[in-house]
Amino acid sequence: MMRQYELVERVAAYTKEPDEALLNKAYVYAMQKHGEQKRASGDPYFSHPLEVAAILTDLKLDEDTIAVGLLHDTIEDTDATRREIDEMFGEKIGRLVEGLTKLKRLDLVSKQAKQAENLRRLLLAISDDIRVLLVKLADRLHNMRTLGVMRPEKSKRIATETMEIYAPLAGRMGMQDLRDELEELSFRYINPEAYETVMNYLRELGEKNRSLTAEISKNLEQRLAERDIQATVKSRQKKPYSVFRKMETKQLGLEQLSDIFGFRVIVNTIEDCYLTLGIVHTDWAMVPGRFKDFISVPKQNDYQSIHTTIVGPSKQRVELQIRTWQMHEVAEYGIAAHSAYKEGDDDFSQSKAYASLRKTIEQLAESDNPEEFLEHTKLELFLDQVFCFTPKGQIISLPTGATPIDFAYAVHTDIGDSCIGCKLNGKIMPVITELQNGDEVEIIRSDSQSPPAAWQSVVVTGKARSAIRRASRQAARKQYLTLGVRILEREFSKVGLPYDHAGIEAALPRLARDSMDDMFAQVGRGEIKPVDVIMAVHPEFEQGQAEAKSKPAAKSDGPMGLFSLQNLIRKSSERSSAVSGKQKAQIPIRGVNDDLPIQFSPECGAVPGDQIIGILDPGKGITVYPAEATALAKFRGDKEHWIDLSWDIEEAKSDRFPARIRILAKNEPGTLADVAKSIASHNSNIQNLNMQVPVDDFAEIEIDLEVSDLVHLTRILQQLSAQKAIAKAERLLG
C-alpha cells in the first residue's frame, strides 16, 4: 500500500505547497476507522480509499478532493459520523463525504422507475459540486480494476451500470482516458468473447505495424522541424471497445477497419496548429470528408483539436489530431484540468463542460415522470454531439442522430411547436432527416401547426420529446373539450331540452367540477355521462321520479320524468353503438367517446404520424381519414360532422395500421416476389393486392399494407423506390 509520505509526494509533484497536515490527518483517520476490515479479495479495506486517492492525484486534483477520496467510505462502513468529520476536517469536506455516502447506497441497475430516481439524485448531487462526480468516478474505476473477485453475474451487472452511466459521464466531462479505461474494463465483463477477439487482433496488429508507426512519427516531426515548428508526435491505437462499437455501428469486420492507428501532433500555440495543418495537407493528400476543426468550435466537454485524415508516406490512411499542450491536458483530464482546481477555487462554472452539464440537468429535472427522466438523461448526456447553424450563424449543438425537429426545439419551444418543414443548406428536406456536422438549418413555420404525436418516435432530445408530449396532451384535451360540447348539445336536443351554457356553468358545483373546460373534456373522454350533466342542470327531474313510479311517464303533463329522460338517453346511446363489424375505440385515437365505433378510411387507411380527421355518421360511427385524403372532399359541405382527432401513440407501440400504396414496376418475372420480400423485410404485412398491366412493359400494383407508423411506411417506400425494377412507389391518399 502507498505510504503517507508517498501520497504527499504525489501531490507535491503538481502543487507547490501541498496541505501536508490535511493529507496526513485524513490518511490516519481513514486507516484507523477501517481497521481490520477486508475487501472481497481479502485485501485490507483501507487499500481501496487509498487507491481512490491515488487516482485523484493522477488527475492532479486539490488536497480537499483527495481527502474526500480517503474518507468517502467512512460514514457508510465504519462508526464515523458526519459531525465528527465536520469537526476534524471542516463542513465542506463533511458535506461531500456525506453526499458520496448517500450515492453509495444507490442501486442504479434496478427497476426502471427506481433507477431513474436514483440517477436523478446522482445528477443533482453532481450539479451541486462537481467533486462528487470526480471522487465517484475514481471510486468506480478502482472497483472496476478489482472486479475479477466478484461472481460473474454481479461483475456483469456492475460492468453494465458502469458502461451505461459512469463511462458516459466521464466522457461528458472530457475525461477521455478515464472513460476509455472504464469502457475497456466493462467490455471485458459484458462481452468477454468479443473482448478477447478484439484484443488479440490489436496485439497482432500492433506488433506488425510497430516499425511503421515509428517511421511515420519520425517523418512528421522532421517535416515540421524543417518549418521551424516544435512538435511532439505520439502514435495511438484505437481502444478495444471503440473498435467493437465501430464494427457494430458500421457493420464492418476487423480487417475492414482502416483507422486502428492514429497520431497526435502536439505543438506550442494555436497558430502552430493551423501551420501544421497546412504543411500536412500540402505534403500529403487529404481524405475528403474526414476533417473537423474542434479548435474553432470546441465540443461541449471543452475538447479542442483539429482532426484530419491523410494518405500517408506508405500510401495508407493516417488519422491525425493536432492540438496544443494545453488542449492536450484538457483532452486527457477533462474538467479536472481546469485551472479553478489548482487555485483552490470552488466556483467551477468557468468550465464549459460543467456549465453545460448543469444546464442539461436543469432541463432534465422538468421531466414529467421518472421514466421520462431516465430516457431523456441517456439521450441528452450520453450521446456524441453534432454542431449545426441557424441562418444567422448561431451554433446549436445536438446529440448525434438529431433531426431538424430537435433543432427547432433547441432554438425555442414555440419554433418546435410551429415547425412544418425545414431547409438544410438551402434545400428543402424532410424534417426527419438526420443532421450532420456543419448543416445550416432553417425552420419553416406555421402558427396553425401543432406537432404530430408520431414525432416522439423520431426526435432524440429530451427537450423535444417532452414538448411534443405536452403539446399532444394539450391538443388532445382541446379535442376532448370540443367533442364534449358536441355530445352535450346532441343529448340535450334528443331529450327536448335547450342547451343552456349559463345553466351548465351554474350546475358545476353539483357535478363537483371547478371549470367548464374540465367538465367538457371529461364528457368528451367519457368520464362524465351526459345524463349526469342534464340532471345537474334540471334537478326538477328528481322530483318527478316518484310520479314516474306511480303513473306512466307518457301521461305526465309536467316536465319529462327521470325514468323517461334516462331511458331516452340510454336508447340513443344504444342506437349509436349497435353497429356490427366496426372497430371500437380500442384504436389509440384521442377525441372520441368509447361508445362510438371507429373504422379507418376504406380508400387509404390512416397511420400514426398522419394528421387525422374523423367523419361522424350517426348510423355508422366515425371514419378516420388522413387530413390530406382526397376522399374528404365529398364531406366539405357537411362540416358539423367533422371531428378533430389525434393519435394516442403511447398505447399503440406494437399495433399495425392500414395504408395503401401504388407501385409502377417493370412487368417481368420476379418483380412481384421482390416487392413482397422488401415489404416482409420491414416486418409489414400485405392485406390485399391488386395488379393491372395497362401496357406490356409495366405493371401497376396497388397494395394494402399494415404498418406501425408514418416513419415505417416511409422506409418501406424508400426501399421499394431503390429497386431497379420499380419506376415509382407512392402512397395513395384516397
Q: Check if the beta carbon of residue 273 is closer than 8 Å to that of residue 324.
A: yes
Count of alpha carbons within 13 angstroms of residue 220, beta-carbon side: 32
Phi-psi region of 42 (alpha: psi -120 to 50; beta: other; left: phi over 0): left
One-letter identity of residue 132:
V
Which residues make beta-bridge pairs with 257? none
* Torsion sign, CA atoms 716, 721, 722, 724: positive
Candidate list 20, 43, 58, 76, residue with the active-site label: 76
CB contact at 8 A, 441 and 389: yes
3-class DSSP state for residue 178? Answer: helix
Distance CA 232, CA 272 (A): 12
Decide: 689 and 678 in contact? Cβ < 8 Å.
no
Residue with cell 414555440: 414
* DSSP count for the chain of H helices, then E strands: 31, 19
**Choosing from 43, 58, 77, 547, which is the catalytic residue?**
77
Between CA 305 and CA 273 the distance in angstroms is: 9
Is 77 an annotated catalytic residue? yes
DSSP class of residue 166? I
Report the b/e string of 437-458 with b at 16+ CB within 10 A: eebebbbebeeeebbbbbbbbb
Does an H or E element contain 311, and which? strand 306-311
DSSP H or E run through 82: helix 82-89
DSSP-assigned states of every residue in 424-482: ETTEEE-TTPPP-TT-BEEEEE-TT----GGGGGT---HHHHHHHHHHHHHHHHHHHHH
CB atoms closer than 10 angstroms to residue 4: 16
Classify the C-alpha dihedral 527-530-535-537 as positive or negative.
positive
Active site residue 76: yes
Contact 400, 383 (CB under 8 A): yes
Of 395, 375, 394, which Cα lies nearest the Cα of 300?
395
Query: What is the DSSP secondary-structure string of 631-693?
Result: GGGGGTT-GGGEEEEEE-GGG-TT--EEEEEEEEEE-STTHHHHHHHHHHHTT-EEEEEEEE-
Taking alpha carbons only, the member of 277, 271, 269 closest to residue 326 is: 269
Q: How many residues are recorded in the chain?
A: 734
Active site residues: 76-77
